Amino acid sequence: MEFEKPLAEWKGQVQEIKLSDKVIIGGEQVFPNYSFDGKCSNKPAVAIEINDVFPENWPENLKEIWNTDTLKSPVERAKKAEKEFGADIIFFDMIGTHQDRENISANQAAENMNAILKAVDTPVIVRPDGNFEKQNKIFAKCCELAERQIIIGSAKEDNYRTITASALAGNHFIIAEAPIDVNIQKQLNILITQMNFPLERIIMDPMTGGLGYGFEYTYSVMERIRLQTFMDDPFMIPPMVCCVGQETWKIKEIKIEDEKYGSKPERGINWETTTAIGLILSGANIVVVRHPESVIKIKNFIDSIYQKSDCLQQGI
Amino acid sequence: MKNLKLISGDFTKEIQVKENTNLLYAIQESGLFIDAPCGGNSVCKKCTVFIDGKSCLACQTFVNKDLIVILPEYSNLVVEEDKNHFIEKFKDIKINPIIQKIEIFINPEERISYQSDLEYFKSLLKKAGFEIFIPSDVELLSKISKATHKKNTFTIYLFEENNKYEIVDIIEGTNLKNLGIAIDLGTTTISIALLDLDSGIFIDSITFYNPQIIYGADIIHRIVFAQKNDGAEILQKKVLEELNQSISSLCMKNNLSANEIKSVVLSGNTTMIHLFLGLPSKFIRETPYSPVMQKFPILNSNSFIDIIKKGKLFVMPCVANYLGGDLVSGIISCDLHKKDEINILLDIGTNGEIVIGNKDWLIGCACSAGPAFEGMGLNCGVRFKQGAITEVSYENNKFVYSIAGNSKPCGISGTGIISLIKHLKEQKHIDNRGKFTEKVKDKIDHRKAFILFKKEETFNNEFIYVDETDIDNILRAKAAIYSGISLLLKKLSLDISEIDNMFIAGGIGNSLNINNALEIGLFPRMRKEKIVFIGNSSLTGAIKFLLSRESRDETNDLFPKVTYIDLSNEPSYMDEFMAALFIPHTNQI
Amino acid sequence: MALTGLQIFKLLPNKNCGECDVPTCLAFAMKLAGKIAEPQACPYISDEAMEILGAAQTPPIKKIIFKNGEKEISIGAETVMFRHEKTFVNQTLIALEMTDNLSAEEFENELKRIESYKYERVGERLEPECISLKNVSDDKNNYLLKLETIQSKTEKIIILSDCNAEIIKEAMQLVDNKRLILNKVEDLSETLNIISDTQTPIVLSAKNIEELLEKVEKCEAQNFKNIILSIDFNNLNELLENNVLLRRSAIEKGFKLAGYPILTECTEEDELHSAILGICKYSSIVLLKKFSGASLFPLLTLRQNIFTDPQKPLQIDPGIYQVGEPDESSPLIVTTNFSLTYFIVSGEIENSISPAWLCIVDAEGMSVLTAWSANKFSGEIVGKAILNSGIEEKINHKKVIIPGYVAIIRGELEDKLPEWEILVGPQEAADIPKYLKEIWK
């Protein structure tokens, strides 16, 4: 029987961003992953999260696979993430800068960042923690002192000016984070570009609701963002990043002791993988995870879904 | 007892209070208004007054000696509406007043023996062409009886129902007037118009704050207050007292007698009407969100407004819990229900109300805009009056302010802040979200603020400024209105370009600059010529109801036809609202 | 094409009689446009209008109803491509495969394991609802014996897989037809004869869409309605493409042959992946070959999330939640059970890095201010929730932080909780860290 494929026409294109020679994200000319409709040039990238301090709150099984000693050294973690675990991008979450934690100073934070930048070849996303005042100091320092181009986060609607000005001066990328809201996301993109920051250097973080904890909001908001991209909305073209690991390894479902639901590590990996894949399906260009097994599984998925398309190989 | 002298602008009031009376309470009892949204918990700091040149919170002050208290200027708000505006509106109306007045000559000498007074009276009226109902009011029966034994001309006021007439009053003499009162009972302000129904002449009007404000700025807070012990009684008493007083001063001012007022038409949102009538308001706010009734009975005026002793009180019917008679009045006022083309009626008040429709259908919703456009709830907000900053422009690298009247500035009005926001945005003092940029460096109370006038330049020696919460207040109000309109349009799959006219009603009315309103995104972008200001349409509609039979019939046909959309049940409303919380709009950059 | 509310309104009598239980004709028209009312509800509707509206009302994807114990489960009846446009109507069923070559004891144990797999979440029981019994033994009696076991020990829907007409005929005597799906039948035309009266749902599988649609056409010609589609795939790209194109054909192009639910047989090597894809992208049944407790749990949760009606605020279970690891002196914060509110408030408490107890009050899934406006978050209700939560045994203080937007309930709450100190927190969640740091200590 004759079957004429009902292919869809999509206007517009996701901004393609070259983060390094090897890592290029975005650029799809059709709804995410719909390579049968048209061109999806670049595979989504998988980033691994590392911290500037020992991650006390991680579950034991996750700490074990990383090795406790490695976890104590940000640089060792970064190297392991890149070389052993195959991270396309390193996500450097500086939780130690929070004023009520280790309260690491802005100068020290910039130094820590540069150590990571030196240790790995991948692009690095840098994100400080703390109140706005503290974060603003770190944004300024990191953008000023970074020894190579970084991706700095997160600009929010109530705190985007310092980071934007700093990243503009230092020629860095910005992560624009909105609280699971299409409109606020677009507003934030506009606000940032109104400071003459190029839209081509923005990556959106729609904020990830963990699976079972608001996942569906993120999922639909991302779909809506992309539908808007392809209705040729000029402010909705940046690629998207989703921080999956942070929303996975804290929830109670992966801490339940009951063999019926599989072993805890396996359940955690599957939870992280399922969340990440779900979000890739709704348009994530970067997913940030914690477990090396998740990286493998997610990459398998990406390879299988990008089988036919003429996309570039991501990462190493 | 202690003497209190309360001064607000050029108005002074002296009262006596018991020792140790709370000053906030005393001011509220005096009939003057002071904003205290926190209810006297020393939280909102709005009830600041001056005693001996020092500022203090009225709610934390107790009267233990004679005091002279300087109140904020807004405390004594009296605004006269522009008469010409109204007169223009009613010139084409075919006058057929709700209460008719006839004069009858009574000559007891002609009477047949043994016929009762009433039968005689009936026959007289029948001869004049009026078949009457038998009055059930004993006082009125006595008046009739007396009249039938006196040789003179009497003026009789009649109310027609199904071709039979009810006698409203009978007064000895000729050349009496047939006066009518239209009331717009708003959440924040009340307007009263006085009319001569025989000629259709608009005599006078007055606007003042709703005295219930002290018990809550919006309808939800009023309903909550009404649930408390005596709460409902207090709210009703407050508003009735104020109405009595205002109507009597309006009459005095125009040398008219309140006795000649025979009809009152009351228009207002559902909550205000319920509180006025003393009906339970609880379920306006709670499931099943039910008003007591949609169409209210015709009442005797003196049960509510005692200075109108023998008269009829008509209440505009409401559509739903949050879509009231004020909007039905509005529809009548601009003939939305008669037009072939699709039009929008937008009533900007404490509750923004929106109706879209034509002669076949009407659909409406209400959104909570808050009192910001009426100058309330802002740090330095005032209603339109002397000394109000009503318009801002930017010339030669400077902000230039237009001030109403020949006075030092005393605050900023709703239209003033709208035009200020427009220019702040243009000059990059704020971003599209209304947050200050680096260009604004001043601070007041540790918060960033844009200062319009320094202390020494103003009427009350206080800074006139705007901070981010003020701007946010306006943005939320405008977003509520914009999103209400866009949601209704989406529900109907209509585009704004398919709308013929947008009628804008409400206190903000004529003084609003359309360009500014479009620049800040008060409503969806449309051609300027399509926007028509119609002033206080709730009052206008009520006046039409008084004057025109056609309008009365239409009102009764109309209200069941309006489809009510409850925005809180609309999942996409929040989305529309967030999109509109941007200057001018997220999708309009 | 779907009609708009105003277009439908013009077909209605405009009497505003309210006999359809909607106050006005326009309101009724908008309900019809939103497909939440039936045109028959209008007693005065014209025949012509009925014809136009009736056609517009049939969902583009066939609905198939099953019996699952006492309740009914449906698949299909979908109307949109993206869930935010309205909702995905019937959630993807999850099927687990069992083979008939296990010993009776092994089989029963495995069945027990499957049957016991359930998890209660947000008032919903998450469990796989189908078992696919694969005929490996090619021994009719053995197969039917195993089928009998499933039929008597569970209430799950049963997929008969790899069976010939003879087995199917007997199986249908054994099991309620409302619980059956036929998959991979050996002889299609013979099977169709057997089920022509019962209309037992049958899976048509093919190598590609063209081949599949030919089969559908044949079945339709034989007046067969309960069709389920299945296409083989070599990689996930093909699976995605087939599912999207079928859904698009049915919904956007109104192509009737494609308007049936889809079954996806997950391949063993990337079972989790294909199941995720199936759940997110339009499969009505995903069939898992391998039963893995660790995969099933996130899949069931994913399914629950994806099929949540986005038009209804998602609620979370009321009660006490721990954010971080709070102890007896940690603060107690109260808010509503709207899941987005919970998500944002708990997120901000996490940001503060000071652990806290979060008391979630049942406010029918409304946000704080909306709930208060409608009297669902009054002092009375909040007080009762705190007293019934058992939090008093977990903390050594009697202080509770209420959202700043509802400062007004403080007095009422003090009446309800006379021994407690009621603290008014910030209006916006973003200010919680600052509040906890500056005020709480």
Which of A157, A181, A187, A236 is most worth mutating to test chain B (most B CB atoms within 10 A of its CB)? A187
Quote the tokens at residue C146.
């195993």
Q: What is the pLDDT of residues C75-105, one digit of tens each?
A: 999 999 999 998 999 999 999 999 999 999 9
Q: Nearest Cα to B267, choosing from B332, B222, B212?
A: B332
Among the partner residues A214, A260, A277, nearest to C273 by beta-carbon distance: A277
| pLDDT attached to residue B44 | 59
Quote the tokens at residue B382.
């005032």
Which of C1, C3, C4, C6 is most worth mutating to test chain B (most B CB atoms within 10 A of its CB)? C6
List Cβ neighbours of A233 (8 Å cut-off, separation of 6 or more).
Answer: A12, A186, B587
Q: Which of the four pLDDT bands, split at 50, 70 and 90, describes residue C428? A: confident
| Mean of pLDDT values over B543-571 | 92
In this structure, which topology does domain C64-306 adopt according to CATH? TIM Barrel (3.20.20)
Q: How far is CA C427 from CA A134, B478, C404, C430, in A?
A: 23, 20, 4, 9
Place of tokens 């939103």: C34
Domain range C319-440, CATH class: alpha beta
Domain spans of chain B, in order of start? 2-75, 99-172
Q: How many Cβ atoms from other residues are within 10 Å of residue C327's Cβ? A: 11
| DSSP string covering A125-154 | EEEE-S-HHHHHHHHHHHHHH-SS--EEEE
Whether A26 has a pLDDT exceeding 70, the answer reads yes
Q: Which of the four pLDDT bands, split at 50, 70 and 90, describes residue C365? A: confident
Domains of chain A in start order, with CATH, are: 17-305 (3.20.20.20)
- Please answer yes or no on whether B571 and C374 come within 8 Å at the CB atom: no
- Please answer yes or no on whether C84 and A223 come within 8 Å at the CB atom: yes
Domain spans of chain C, in order of start? 5-57, 64-306, 319-440
| Whether C115 contacts chain A with CB within 8 A | no
Name subunits touching A (3+ CB pairs < 8 A): B, C
Handedness of CA B348, B354, B357, B359 (dihedral sign): negative
- For A26, left (φ over 0), alpha (ψ -120 to 50), or beta? left
- Please answer yes or no on whether B563 and C370 come within 8 Å at the CB atom: no
| Mean of pLDDT values over B240-259 | 92
Q: Which residue of A has its CA nearest to B431?
A: A191
Which residues, numbered 13 to 42 in chain B, qualify as contacts with chain C under a Cβ-Cβ cut-off of 8 Å?
38-39
| Mean of pLDDT values over C339-354 | 85
Q: How far is B568 from chain C (nearest CA, A)?
A: 8
Amino acid at site B33: F
| pLDDT attached to residue B480 | 93
| Three-class SS state of C411 | helix
Which of B219, B435, B492 is most worth mutating to test chain C (most C CB atoms within 10 A of its CB)? B492
8 Å CB contact between B98 and B265: yes
- Please answer yes or no on whether B432 and A235 come within 8 Å at the CB atom: no
- Please answer yes or no on whether A281 and C314 come within 8 Å at the CB atom: no
Quote the CA–CA distance of B167 and B159 in Å, as a whole number: 6
Whether C278 has a pLDDT exceeding 60, the answer reads yes
- Please answer yes or no on whether A98 and C295 come within 8 Å at the CB atom: no
Q: What is the mean pLDDT of chain C?
A: 92
List Cβ neighbours of C340 (8 Å cut-off, separation of 6 or more).
Answer: A180, A214, A217, C313, C314, C367
| pLDDT attached to residue A309 | 52
**CATH number, domain B2-75, options 3.80.30.20, 3.10.20.30, 3.20.20.450, 3.90.1150.10:** 3.10.20.30
Among the partner residues A191, A233, A235, nearest to B433 by beta-carbon distance: A191
Q: Which of the four pLDDT bands, split at 50, 70 and 90, describes residue A308? A: low
- Residue B209 is inside which H or E element, if any? strand B201-209
Handedness of CA C61, C64, C68, C69 (dihedral sign): positive
| pLDDT attached to residue B7 | 80
Quote the CA–CA distance of B295 and B272 in Å, as a whole number: 15
| Whether A273 contacts chain C with CB within 8 A | yes
- Please answer yes or no on whether A194 and B431 come within 8 Å at the CB atom: yes
- Please answer yes or no on whether C24 and B286 come within 8 Å at the CB atom: no
Q: Which of the four pLDDT bands, split at 50, 70 and 90, describes residue A315? A: very low
Task: Name the CATH architecture for the domain at B99-172.
Answer: Roll (3.10)
Largest Cα span, chain A: 69
Q: Angle B219-227/B231-253 helices, nearest 10 degrees?
A: 120
| Mean of pLDDT values over B429-456 | 94
Which residues, numbered 154 to 183 in chain A, qualify as contacts with chain C under a Cβ-Cβ cut-off of 8 Å?
158, 179-180
The C-alpha torsion from C219 through C223 and C225 to C229, rounded to 10°, is 10
Among the partner residues B431, B575, B579, nearest to A191 by beta-carbon distance: B431
Quote the tokens at residue B577.
């609202």
Quote the tokens at residue B150.
């006196």
How much of chain B is helix, strand and coil, in % rounded to 5?
35, 30, 35
| pLDDT attached to residue C28 | 93
- B42-46, B64-68, B539-543: segment of lowest average pLDDT: B42-46
| Whether A84 contacts chain C with CB within 8 A | no
Whether B131 has a pLDDT exceeding 90, the answer reads yes
The DSSP call for residue B269 is -
- Superfamily covering domain C5-57: Electron transport complex subunit B, putative Fe-S cluster (1.10.15.40)
- A166-175, A305-314, B183-192: segment of lowest average pLDDT: A305-314
The number of residues in chain C equals 441
Q: What is the pLDDT of residues A150-192, one digit of tens each?
A: 999 899 999 999 999 999 999 999 999 998 999 999 999 999 9
Quote the tokens at residue C369.
């201010």
| pLDDT attached to residue A316 | 36
Q: Which of the four pLDDT bands, split at 50, 70 and 90, describes residue B84? A: low
Q: Which residue of C has its CA nearest to A308?
A: C237
Task: Tell how strand B502-505 and strand B343-347 pair up.
Answer: parallel
Q: How many Cβ atoms from other residues are within 10 Å of residue B166's Cβ? A: 19
Whether C354 has a pLDDT exceeding 90, the answer reads no
Using alpha carbons only, what angle is made at residue B151 by residues B148 and B156, rounded to the nearest 5 degrees? 55
Place of tokens 């009809």: B263
8 Å CB contact between C156 and C130: yes
* pTM across the whole model: 0.89
Quote the CA–CA distance of B584 and A187 in Å, as a whole number: 11
Q: Which of the four pLDDT bands, split at 50, 70 and 90, describes residue B74? A: low
Amino acid at site B169: D
B69 forms beta bridges with B6, B51
The DSSP call for residue B182 is E
| Mean of pLDDT values over C264-280 | 93
| Whether B571 contacts chain C with CB within 8 A | yes
CA A263 to chain CA centroid, nearest Å? 27
Amino acid at site B583: I
Q: Name the H helices within B262-310.
A: 270-277, 282-285
Q: Which of the four pLDDT bands, split at 50, 70 and 90, describes residue B85? A: low
Q: Nearest Cα to B369, choosing from B396, B346, B389, B351?
A: B351
Q: Which of the four pLDDT bands, split at 50, 70 and 90, describes residue B512? A: confident
**In b/e form, how buried is each residue of B404-417, taking b as 16+ CB within 10 angstroms?**
beeebbbbbbbbbb
Q: How far is A157 from chain B (nearest CA, A)?
A: 8
